Structure 1
Amino acid sequence: MSTVEHSSVDRGEDKHRRRWHILVFLLPALLVYTAVMILPLVETLRLSLFNVKDGQSVFVGFGNFQVLFGDPRWAASFWNALGNNFIFFLIHMLVQNPIGVALAALLSVPKLRFGAFYRTAMFLPTLLSFVIVGFIWKLILSPIWGVSPYLLDLVGLKSMFSPWLGKPGTALIAVSLISVWQYVGIPMMLIYAAMLNIPDEVLEAAECDGVTGWSQFWKIKLPLILPSIGIISILTFVGNFNAFDLIYTVQGALAGPDGSTDILGTLLYRTFFGFQLQIGDKSMGATIATVMFLIILSGVCLYLFAIQRRMRRYQF
């Protein structure tokens, strides 16, 4: 066998070894992901098609879904939670993400002093436990011992204070803004990183053409960071429709007052595990979880196959 043939065979064997090398390193992560994500998802989908009758698990097909959407009591609770979830998501999209983009634009100013301090301070709430955040804001907004009435009184606006967390008309907005305060650092840092990746040659060319300041942001930087904004939007969608912890901490499992802050996550919790006088129903809980999964999957597919494909891409 010639030297060339020997070398080609050696390269093929090395490539084969490298492939097994990759599989060996991927296997632990794959096993953990399967155990933690894939198997529970499959079991949830399976459980939504069964129900318990006379102590026996019986296949009912889409019967649980018919109950969820057809029974007046279940349907009222589900549509209320879904509507609140959409409001929760829209507040994040219209408040959190624009503020995150604006803060990133300010932090990307080259001559900004103490930029590292500002970035750390704005990102710090993201690192806090939702229990701490919820408890702190309940204290701040409390009409009895909170500091909000005092702070508003300092600026002559005490008459505007109201027990926002205790009124059905304002509770959901208040909780949503608390969530915005906690997580605004995530879109800020992602957009800031995207702005740092913009080549200096592009910005220098824009300055030579007289495009500076906010005009440069709107005409040059914003179009270049649109893919990052799209990723942030879909992450916000997935995170908001999986939300549970902050509302549970601030408003409890009943998501009061009168269910005004009830979202799909809290409805799922009460249905699956039960709460107070309500007995847990695993089949209906799995049905709600399946609907949540389908909603999130639909939103992600819409973004990937309809929006992202049409989004203009810039390559350098």
Structure 2
Amino acid sequence: MSATRTLLPDTANARLKKRKPATQRQKRDWLFAAGFLAPFMILLLVFQYVPLLVMARNSVYQYSLLNPAAAKFVGLRNFTDMIDYEDAAASFGVTFLFALGVVLFVIPVAFSLALFLNSRLPARALVRTMIMLPVVTSSVVVATMWSFLLDPSNGLINGVLNLAGIGNQPFLTSTSQSLAALIVMTLWQQVGFGAILFLAGLQGLPAELTEAARIDGATKRQVLWNITIPLLSRTTLFVVVIMTVFSLQAFAPAFLMTQGGPQESTNLIVYHIYNSAFIMQQAGYASALSVVLLLVVLVISMIQMTLLRSRWNY
């Protein structure tokens, strides 16, 4: 018994000595991680979260950027003005219609391109390069290029239409065609990003399910509709949410191509916020619009977290 009692303290001391280096190593790892993360967290705090708080505070004030010291507290007046004024509702309506058009066209085209890239057909490398170039190209460059293409008099697209026997189309100067033109331009730029996301989802599907279905006699179309598409439900919802949020925040097309016209048919909400703050000098009202837009984006993100809980697990 005495020998056992004398050995127990020594064993405990040995265990404590072994734990100390591990604890010191963990502290050192935490310090290294904090050192690497600190610059990013500081930038994120200074350039994102602090401006959000300032924006929320400014939304209850009425002031001009030319004289911010003369700010006047108005409470929720800026938010009630959105209901009284028709421009805010019209701008949100145009933006939602733009986002709906982008999503409805991007999803099937991106999925088709992903199926092509996931196959063993030739020219896959060339197609990958072609669809990714617009994604990595600046939105300013893309908008400027499409402005030349859609020029109502000397644009390349109207030149092709004239060769086909179709007259010149107004495109960006038409209230019925301008928003559709912006949707087509956005589709051309963003379809590559959606295709890459779908391709990643396709490559993550279990191959044994497809092989088992083909052994049972299922055709390619049956495999696509009954196996591939259901298993890609999470990827599809993710692409839908990403494209929707991107479309709600679109600014360059309206600013560079149409300036919100004609007759505010392309007055996207972010361009309306810019116009209210810097042209109309209604910074408080613009901040209130930004707060509402932020809430809309947050609601969509919450819907994403709910819908991504799919019953298809693999």
Same fold flag (TM > 0.5): yes
Residue 148 of structure 1: CA displacement?
2.1
Say whether the 8 Å CA contact 1:105–1:217 is kept in structure 2: no
Residue 56 (structure 1) aligns with: 70
Query: Structure 2 matches for 1:42-191, cutoff 5 A?
Result: 42-52=53-63, 56-70=70-84, 75-109=85-119, 111-156=120-165, 158-159=166-167, 161-191=168-198
Q: Structure 1 stretch 11-20 or stretch 165-174: which is displaced more? A: 11-20
The two structures have a TM-score, normalised by structure 1, of: 0.89
Say whether the 8 Å CA contact 2:61–2:284 is kept in structure 1: yes
Query: Structure 2 matches for 1:236-255, cutoff 5 A?
Result: 236-252=243-259, 255=260
1:181-201 CA distances to partner (integer Å, 9 max, x unpaired)?
A: 111111011101111122332
1:128-172 CA distances to partner (integer Å, 9 max, x unpaired)?
A: 22222222222222231112233224444x14x521211111211
CA RMSD in angstroms, aligned pairs only: 1.9
For residues 150 and 242 of structure 1, what CA distance do their matches in structure 2 show?
Answer: 32
For residues 13 and 174 of structure 1, what CA distance do their matches in structure 2 show?
Answer: 61
The two structures have a TM-score, normalised by structure 2, of: 0.89
How many residues are matched?
A: 300
For residues 206 and 63 of structure 2, what CA distance do their matches in structure 1 show?
Answer: 61
For structure 1, list consecutive stretches of 5 or more residues without a partner in the other structure.
none
Query: Structure 2 matches for 1:198-217, cutoff 5 A?
Result: 198-217=205-224
For structure 2, list consecutive stretches of 5 or more residues without a partner in the other structure.
1-9
1:258-307 CA distances to partner (integer Å, 9 max, x unpaired)?
A: 11100101100110111xxxx311111111111111111111112213x2
Counting aligned pairs with the same residue, the percent is 25
Structure 2 residue identity aligned to 1:268 = I
Q: Does 1:282 align with 2:283?
A: yes
Q: Structure 1 stretch 51-60 or stretch 214-223: which is displaced more? A: 51-60
Say whether the 8 Å CA contact 1:130–1:249 is kept in structure 2: no
Q: Which has the higher contact order (CA 8 A, sep 6+)?
A: 2
Structure 1 residue identity aligned to 2:111 = V
SS at match of 2:267: coil
Say whether the 8 Å CA contact 2:82–2:89 is kept in structure 1: no
For residues 131 and 93 of structure 2, what CA distance do their matches in structure 1 show?
Answer: 30
SS at match of 2:210: helix
**4+ residue segments displaced more than 4 Å:** none
For residues 51 and 250 of structure 1, what CA distance do their matches in structure 2 show?
Answer: 30
Structure 2 residue identity aligned to 1:46 = R
For residues 158 and 248 of structure 2, what CA distance do their matches in structure 1 show?
Answer: 33
SS at match of 1:58: strand
Structure 2 residue identity aligned to 1:266 = Y
- Counterpart of 1:4 (choices 5, 15, 21) is 15
Residue 24 of structure 1: CA displacement?
1.9
SS at match of 1:184: helix
Q: Does 1:15 align with 2:26?
A: yes
Q: Does 1:41 align with 2:55?
A: no
Say whether the 8 Å CA contact 1:44–1:286 is kept in structure 2: yes
Say whether the 8 Å CA contact 1:107–1:115 is kept in structure 2: yes
1:75-123 CA distances to partner (integer Å, 9 max, x unpaired)?
A: 21101101100110110111011110111112211x2111111111122
